[in-house]
Structure 1
């Protein structure tokens, strides 16, 4: 099966300042608001699509995952665990400590399953080899799923909730594992879904649409790739930033992709050659997206 390459046909969100490490985008259809993080800048970005307006919220530590609880509350995942965030005030309350006593690690990629459970990963703050793990959190109960992970990414779930996808970017293989749709806990061993070892760039964040297509940002290659449920790369959307990090479905019909990127550790020469680095983009390529489930406390 050949790969269809589609040139970028979208817009840079100019009212959302560039991030050092833009990550973890998600969308709340109840308020028409996209949220994402500048992990290294310790900021949470709130972006209202209808008004093209962005607000930066300072965080006391590095955060990377946000999930809606209800209209007034969110859960965010940081380097010390899960925190309840009150939308009106921004006040944070730590509710589930995870690796809070480990100064080496921080949180990275994550996503909520349709049952209300959360998967997320941790990694070394300097990408130390094997320093991280992937966790399952359900109603405050923490289960460590996979150890010795270097850069956890691409966590997402099939539409029926029976399959979880994930990767260790340092390893280069996109994995799939059968899970219980009622609990999001694995019921089998992970298997290779797509082997990207030796390919251009690294597998980063991902979302799965309502047809089971996985849309994965490829760090260092300036694109978002689509993989069929059979594990074939079928489409590649070019993005005007080399270090693309994660996509999210946005809009009233979840039919567009918002894509974050990074500029960390780039030299002046690299930034001059990649002026979109760290920006966030709204792609116009039509997708059949899904809205993220709420996290159940």
Structure 2
């Protein structure tokens, strides 16, 4: 098993940075800060040797979009726009237009039970459909759901979800990996690439500490899982065997994605949310983005099929 260590990048800490996404067309990285309602875009510098012999990268912030509600995730659109899961809505945003001119493509119909909910993690499947999950602000069990958005509208795939999180597909698109965080495990579904239908849900990997948050899949089919409360990213083979452990000097690790021209740099997001003053002093880089080069490459980023 590989043992690796991630090092911080340059952006200032966020409260709950999430959803890193590599834009192959513009060669830039996007990510969100959920409670602040922010979508960031940055350039990733070439690697250089650090003082400890490790390779370091920096992120140069290029632009930030600000929304009036929490932003759970951002995706690329085939048209060149962005698709933002914000509050209860899916918003199509032209980057050269004001956020106020965003077009709502659909909105989730939350139960009328007085329990506030919001969008959380989201990802685009190999056919260009968006899967996005929700959760209650107070993390009430069973209050969330998993949705699919495509040209035919919004469909509920799963209900009674607590904290809908990581989503990723096997290289051939026949498997969907999914984390409902409080379960403490990542599940795998059989996935129909033609219809987007789910079936045959079963446990894929059970964590020994912390809970699974965001995840990504590499070109060899390995599943890289951010561990909230564990200060690490774990990689599992397609058979569910532990392949690598990436140490992150921040306990609340939220997500990860492969970035860079060769998609061989693992970018890891973290959070300060939920840390008390003592933990914040012990983790001065919490909330920042981290990188490492784990000897794997990511899959190309599929855009949402909006044309």
Length-normalised TM-score, structure 2 = 0.89
Contact 2:184 2:210 in 1 (8 A): no
When structure 1 is superposed on structure 2, of 249-258 and 283-292 the one drifting more is: 283-292
1:236-293 CA-partner distances (Å, limit 9, x unpaired): 0111211110001100111111110000132211100111111111222222211210
Aligned to 2:51: none
1:23-46 CA-partner distances (Å, limit 9, x unpaired): 111010111111111101111111
Between the two proteins, the alignment pairs up a number of residues equal to 289
Among 94, 97, 103, the alignment partner of 1:93 is 103
Matched position secondary structure for 2:183? coil
Matched position secondary structure for 1:31? coil
Q: Decide whether aligned partners of structure 1 residues 169 and 101 sit closer, same or farther in structure 2, where only a CA change above 3 A counts.
A: closer
Q: For 1:28 and 1:71, locate their aligned partners in 2 and report how far apart those are by CA, in whole Å.
A: 13
Q: Decide whether aligned partners of structure 1 residues 47 and 71 sit closer, same or farther in structure 2, where only a CA change above 3 A counts.
A: farther
After superposition, residues 217-232 of structure 1 pair within 5 angstroms as: 217-232=226-241
Instruction: Extract unaligned runs of 5+ from structure 1.
Output: none
Matched position secondary structure for 2:139? coil
Shift in Å at residue 71 of structure 1? 5.8
Contact 1:120 1:136 in 2 (8 A): yes
Among 4, 7, 13, the alignment partner of 2:9 is 13
Matched position secondary structure for 1:272? helix
Q: For 1:280 and 1:90, locate their aligned partners in 2 and report how far apart those are by CA, in whole Å.
A: 27
Whether 1:44 and 2:52 are equivalent positions in the alignment is no
Q: For 2:196 and 2:261, locate their aligned partners in 1 and report how far apart those are by CA, in whole Å.
A: 27
Whether 1:276 and 2:285 are equivalent positions in the alignment is yes
Question: Which runs of 4 or more aligned residues in structure 1 lie more than 3 Å from their structure 2 counterparts after TM superposition?
Answer: 99-103
Length-normalised TM-score, structure 1 = 0.92
Q: For 1:13 and 1:206, locate their aligned partners in 2 and report how far apart those are by CA, in whole Å.
A: 19
Q: For 2:66 and 2:155, locate their aligned partners in 1 and report how far apart those are by CA, in whole Å.
A: 29
Aligned to 2:304: 295
Among 181, 198, 204, the alignment partner of 1:193 is 204
Contact 2:78 2:305 in 1 (8 A): no
Shift in Å at residue 180 of structure 1? 0.8
Q: For 2:133 and 2:232, locate their aligned partners in 1 and report how far apart those are by CA, in whole Å.
A: 23
1:197-254 CA-partner distances (Å, limit 9, x unpaired): xx21111100111111001111111111101000111210111211110001100111
Aligned to 2:84: 76
Contact 2:219 2:296 in 1 (8 A): no
Q: For 1:219 and 1:26, locate their aligned partners in 2 and report how far apart those are by CA, in whole Å.
A: 19
Q: Decide whether aligned partners of structure 1 residues 81 and 213 sit closer, same or farther in structure 2, where only a CA change above 3 A counts.
A: same
After superposition, residues 144-163 of structure 1 pair within 5 angstroms as: 144-163=156-175
CA RMSD of aligned residues (A): 1.7
